[in-house]
A = this chain, B = another copy of it.
């Protein structure tokens, strides 16, 4: 990917996304001891950066592929993103969701025009259900995070952020499946080679942290985190980009995540999801790394369970 090809890609997805604003807060900066620039993907269509990857992945399909639709498995933001991006491009979206998914999420996918296929909540059932759709319908499978086009799409948030604030010292994202982190790291390496890229990860699901240290993809041993968007696993498409371009991965406790989430909600009056608070918490925790720096943070807002807030 070159600068000009990446800008061309960004140009192509612009009709399907918002160029989201960047917000700052003196009160939050005082807490963090640095200048935070929140790239507000919570104001993105359907509430998350996932819209970018989904839009780009569908744009890359041939007309005959588009005619047969797309399929993914997700119970989170990507399910809604693919449904909405497909609808906007006149493409059918099949979304495999576990029977354990909250009803509100299933309804949201349907509201965006996605066809929901329920399956038992195991990895094997999920993959079988998606395979079946691929075979029967000829639909193209699009992975929520381990897909080059999805990774490139997510990176466009960083193109915008660096366009609006070219002098950032660092950008930090949460890491779950790794699509956002890989896209951010790739885009920053192209558009601002001196801007360092970091990730925040919950201590309880620290597979990326351990993978980064060992150099091999490690498994999660637990899934008990409030940051429910980050329980997923790194993949072979995004991990190499992360290894090459990311400075370090910072782990944070559940209390630190909840405190950071409350800080942003109460001080900035914006709703960010727990996964995004992980990145904010990481900056606050590592004052030694970020002191007095200008730090971009990519935040989303889709995965918030308003009936079960952690505070």
> Interface residues, chain A, CB within 8 Å of chain B?
21, 23, 40, 42-43, 47, 262, 265-266, 269-272, 301, 304, 306-307, 309, 311
Q: How far is the CA of A23 from the CA of B43 in the complex (A)?
A: 10
Which listed residue, B21, B265, B272, B301, touches A306 by the CB 8 Å rule?
B265
Which listed residue, B40, B47, B270, touches A271 by the CB 8 Å rule?
B270
The number of times this chain is found in the oligomer is 2
Q: How far is the CA of A213 from the CA of B270 in the complex (A)?
A: 37
User: Besides A270-B270, A306-B311, 20 other CB < 8 A contacts?
Assistant: A21-B21, A23-B43, A40-B269, A42-B269, A43-B269, A47-B269, A262-B306, A265-B271, A265-B306, A266-B271, A266-B306, A269-B270, A269-B271, A269-B272, A269-B301, A270-B271, A271-B271, A307-B311, A309-B309, A309-B311
Chain B nearest Cβ from A44, distance in angstroms? 9
Residue on B with the closest CB to A111?
B27
Q: How far is the CA of A243 from the CA of B21 in the complex (A)?
A: 40
Residue on B with the closest CB to A47?
B269
Q: How far is the CA of A40 from the CA of B268 in the complex (A)?
A: 12
| A272: B residues at CB distance < 8 A | 269
Q: How far is the CA of A19 from the CA of B4 in the complex (A)?
A: 36
A-B residue pairs in contact (CB < 8 Å), sample of 23: A21-B21, A23-B43, A40-B269, A42-B269, A43-B269, A47-B269, A262-B306, A265-B271, A265-B306, A266-B271, A266-B304, A266-B306, A269-B270, A269-B271, A269-B272, A269-B301, A270-B270, A270-B271, A271-B271, A306-B311, A307-B311, A309-B309, A309-B311
Q: How far is the CA of A97 from the CA of B265 in the complex (A)?
A: 25
| A309: B residues at CB distance < 8 A | 309, 311
| A265: B residues at CB distance < 8 A | 271, 306
Chain B nearest Cβ from A32, distance in angstroms? 17
Q: How far is the CA of A81 from the CA of B35 in the complex (A)?
A: 24
Residue on B with the closest CB to A262?
B306
Chain B nearest Cβ from A169, distance in angstroms? 25
| A301: B residues at CB distance < 8 A | 269
| A311: B residues at CB distance < 8 A | 306-307, 309
Chain B nearest Cβ from A19, distance in angstroms? 14
| A42: B residues at CB distance < 8 A | 269
| A47: B residues at CB distance < 8 A | 269
| A306: B residues at CB distance < 8 A | 262, 265-266, 311
Q: How far is the CA of A47 from the CA of B25 in the complex (A)?
A: 11
